[in-house]
Amino acid sequence: MERLLSSRSYCRTCSARLLTCLFRHRRPPPPRGIDRRGIDLLKNVCVQAIVGPQTSTQAKFLAELGNKSSVPIISFSANSPSRSGQTPYFIRTAWNDSSQAEAIAALVQKHSWREVIPVFEDDDSNTRFIPDLVGALRQVDTHVSYRCKIHPSATEADLKSTISSLKENWTSVFVVRMSHTLARNFFKLAKDEGMMDRGFVWITAYSLTDIFDVVGSPALDVMQGVIGLKPYVQDTVELHKLSQRWRKKYQLENPGISASIPSVYGLYAYDTIWALALAAEKAGYVNSDFGPSVTNNGSTDFDRIDTSKAAEKLRGSLLDVTFMGMSGNFCIADMQLVSVNYTIINIIGQKRKVVGYWTPGSGISGSLNVKADLGTIRWPGDNENVPRGWLLPMNKTLQIGVPVKPGFDEFVKFENGKPKGFCIDVFEAVINALSYDVPLHYKPFADKKGNSKGTYDDLVYSVYRKEYDVVVGDITILANRSRYVDFTLPYTESGVRMLVPVRDHRQKTAWTFLNPLTADLWLGAGAFFVFTGFVVWCIEHRTNKDFRGPPGSQIGLVFYFSFSTLVFAHRERILNNLSRIAVVVWLFVVLILQQSYTASLSSVLTVEQLQPTVTNLEEVIRNRSYVGYLNDSFLPVLLKRLKIDESKIIPLDSPEQYNEALTSGRVAVIIDEIPYLKVFLKQYCQNYTMVGPTYKLDGFGYAFPRGSPLAPDISRGILKFASDDRMVNMQKELYGATSCLDKDDSQTSSSLTLLSFQGLFIITGTSSVLALIMHAVITIYNNRHEFSSDGSQSSWPRWPAILSKLFHEGDNPSNTPIKNEPAIENVDGATESPLNITNHIIEHLTDMDTGSPPEGEGTPGRELSVQGTEPLSFAYMHSERGHNGAASLSRNLSSIRRRQITFSRSKPFTSRRISPCVISRTTSRS
């Protein structure tokens, strides 16, 4: 103002007409006085601007006057944002309260508080701020369930009543915005009522934060731990100089009173005067162009106020003014000062500690320039731990409703006036694990006679009617119930299934021995038995006399050898290594197949095969069978949805009634929740089982009122307790240590299937086929000269005949390496058939004449001796078989001589004579 009065181009009279009203920051006089002075200034003094309406109530009327006369009305302290469309001449040179609401919401989100109660003075200053605050809190998912209004003229009794209503709420986070005098009385009474202790949170808006500058120590004493917001003001040299000048002047005007620094509103007022002076310089001097007044007697006739073009020009200049003032950058946008940053302060003792900042871009931070954590905050009660945001109402005992029912008292029951059971034990274990104490009082949901007052739906609805604070029991979480209460997480297994009787479906008959294996396995095993015997016969037929003979005997030998391996009773010798490999692999398969069959047959003959009488719900509906369910439950609605006739459902109350109804056939099945069925099967495990699909539900939970802050803590406690060994032990005690037989719709036969042995059959089949192929390849290679015509060209048409000859005539010594003594063994082990004897002799003779090439030139060949052979009996020699054998021997000897001559021509070899012993013995036998 001093600068403006000494401006270079303005006289004192014009400056006085420009600036006529600058009020101190104190409670304003009655609005009617302000209205009269405003009209008087516009009509009689003809001012070009009015500075000073400090409250929204004053500014509301003066803004209409400024709009009428085109004179700018400037306020540095009115809280309500300007309405630029309706009052374009009302200019706020202070920050917008909406940004302050965003800063408070960010602070609430920072500490994860989910519910806040605004406490505010019921005047025009909060008409826009509270809706802005609620909207900002909603953006950070915080609920405002209650708004506490206090009348400006509230008495001490009114304030006590208000504080008592706040104590009855669970929420302990409050945002306060009211005048200084009212706030000092409110916090003093709140401290007396214990609401400035641990667990409470008090946040003040800036209109109340500067109470410490105005009131001083009395406010600090009753507001320990309060968090406040104030616009950020940079500490500069100019600000220090202004503070020093202000203190000197304040002490001169108020001797004996300690002076503090100017409030932010004082800085706004200082910057407003500077901005107005700069705008006046920019606009230039303009004489007052108000129309002359009809009367000069101070009339307040609103209709006689004329407009001023000079004031309109001054307004335009003011809106364009920009400079760095004491409060920061001065820039008007949307008819108010542009908001920038806020400082977060904490009242600790007699000091105001800066713990952080809020900026529109970065939000909450411990530093203004970089992202950092907030400083340490001392909450009410000298507590450094962040309050959880809610408290159990003072002197409040949690009223707990408990259901009363006749059956399944393992879950909940009243015994000697005290609740017991699984549901109660879990709830108390979770409550005791909380970090705070919760007083409990259980009340049965029963009438005067001790009977239940209604269904479980009625019990849940009683929480909605606030008859109980929580319901603890076997309460199933359902969608329609969750419309009235908040459930915790489930603490039991969820779902609904069918309970049915079981009986032994396995019949003991004369053909029971076939049951262990399925038909395809029987056929497959038989096929591999025959196939393995056939492979062994094919490999051994040429070299092993045990596998030669008439066709009928050979076919019988194949089947006999194959099936005798089942009991490892085969007596035929295996000479070829390939057939040995095939037989060894097959015996391994037979061993496993035999052991599996024995175990399965033992199970069939000795173990009861209990199976359910009903396997699915469609069968129940199709047969129109009766269905049982637990009385006073939600199951009738579910059964109706499953298309079960209402006339076919029967309510039951206890496990004993379940057993009686199923045993007598009064109901075919019982449909109930899995926890109840497990408790039932603990006692009646041998005769019943659960079958069918599981119809999903959420299990048992505890019901709390909507919005109860205790429900999330209990849910987190249930999650933690569910992973504890105590929960496992409690479930074992409830359901039993062992589980009963449980069948489902996908039940299969206990017989062994072909698929179970598919791998073994593939192994033995592959080994047998490979052995047979290798035997064929080796045989063809060793007799490859037989497949050549004239020693050079192949004769393909003769191959089948050659292969048949090789297969049926046995090994040709010319193609088979000589072994040490196989011929002698065969001779000794031959039967008494003269034909066989003759064959042995021929083979020995052939071996002597056409044996393997000599080891060296001139090396004599090996001579054979059959001196150990016993002569045939006289009866046999004169029999028909003996006579035929002798004739055959003679023919064979002639063939040997001819073959010897042929070999001598084609291939040189050492001449060897037939032993006379052999000839003589052969002749004698003939």
pLDDT tens, position by position, 104-126: 999 999 999 989 999 999 887 77
* Cross-strand pairs, 118: 175
No. of helices (H) and no. of strands (E), the chain: 32, 29
Query: Helices 551-564 and 519-540 sit at what angle, rounded to 10 degrees?
Result: 130
Q: What is the pLDDT of residue 357?
A: 93
Q: Phi, psi (5° rounding) for residue 108?
A: -65, -45
| Sign of torsion over alpha carbons 402, 407, 410, 413 | positive
Q: Among residues 141, 139, 161, which one has the least CA distance to residue 151? A: 161
State both tokens at 817. Answer: 């390496």
Question: Parallel, antiparallel, or unpaired for β 90-92 and 148-150?
Answer: unpaired
Q: Cβ contacts of residue 22 below 8 Å, gap of 6+?
A: 1, 51, 52, 269, 273
Contact 660, 696 (CB under 8 A): no
Q: What is the pLDDT of residue 59?
A: 74
What is the largest distance, in Å, between two alpha-carbon atoms of the chain?
Answer: 179
Q: What is the pLDDT of residue 461?
A: 94
> E strands of 639-791, at which residues?
649-652, 669-673, 688-695, 703-705, 788-789
CB atoms within 10 A of CB 555: 13
Q: How far apart are CA 690 and CA 668, in angstroms?
A: 13
Under DSSP, is residue 31 helix (H, G, I), strand (E, B) or coil?
helix
DSSP 394-410: TT--EEEEE---SS-TT
Its CATH class, for the domain covering 496-504+611-697, is alpha beta
Its CATH class, for the domain covering 97-232+341-365, is alpha beta
Q: What is the pLDDT of residue 676?
A: 93
Contact 749, 517 (CB under 8 A): no
Q: Among residues 231, 692, 745, 753, which one has the least CA distance to residue 500? A: 692
Q: Which residues in the chain come in under a pLDDT of 70? A: 1-36, 38, 43, 79-86, 213-216, 256-260, 285-307, 504-508, 569-570, 607-610, 737-750, 787-799, 803, 806-926
DSSP 865-916: --TTPPPPPHHHHTSHHHHHHHHHHHHHHHHHHHHHHHHHHHS-----PPPH
Burial 217-239 (b: 16+ CB within 10 A, else e): eebbebbbbbbbbbbbbeeeeeb
Q: How far apart are CA 775 and CA 782, in angstroms?
A: 11
CA distances from 62 to 31, 130, 272, 298 (A): 10, 23, 17, 17
Contact 619, 641 (CB under 8 A): no
CA distances from 824 to 675, 869, 870, 879 (A): 82, 9, 13, 26
Burial class (CB in 10 A: 0-12, 13-18, 19+), 913: exposed
pTM of full prediction above 0.75? no
- Listed by start position, the domains of the chain span 1-94+265-294+305-337, 97-232+341-365, 398-487, 496-504+611-697, 512-606
Under DSSP, is residue 27 helix (H, G, I), strand (E, B) or coil?
coil
CATH number of 398-487: 3.40.190.10
Topology adopted by domain 1-94+265-294+305-337: Rossmann fold (3.40.50)
Q: How far apart are CA 514 and CA 601, in angstroms?
A: 9
Q: Among residues 667, 658, 662, 661, which one has the least CA distance to residue 630? A: 658
pLDDT digits (tens, 9 = 90+) for 57-95: 777 777 777 777 778 888 887 766 555 456 788 888 887
Q: Cβ contacts of residue 208 below 8 Å, gap of 6+?
A: 176, 177, 178, 179, 180, 183, 228
Q: Cβ contacts of residue 899 below 8 Å, gap of 6+?
A: 846, 849, 850
State both tokens at 739. Answer: 């589980």
Write out 152-186 in H/E/C secondary structure. Answer: CCCCHHHHHHHHHHHHCCCECEEEEECCHHHHHHH
Are both 1-94+265-294+305-337 and 97-232+341-365 of the same fold? yes
SS3 content of the chain, % helix, strand, coil (to 5): 45, 15, 40
State both tokens at 219. Answer: 């406010």
Q: What is the pLDDT of residue 343?
A: 92
Q: Cβ contacts of residue 848 below 8 Å, gap of 6+?
A: 861, 862, 863, 864, 912, 914, 915
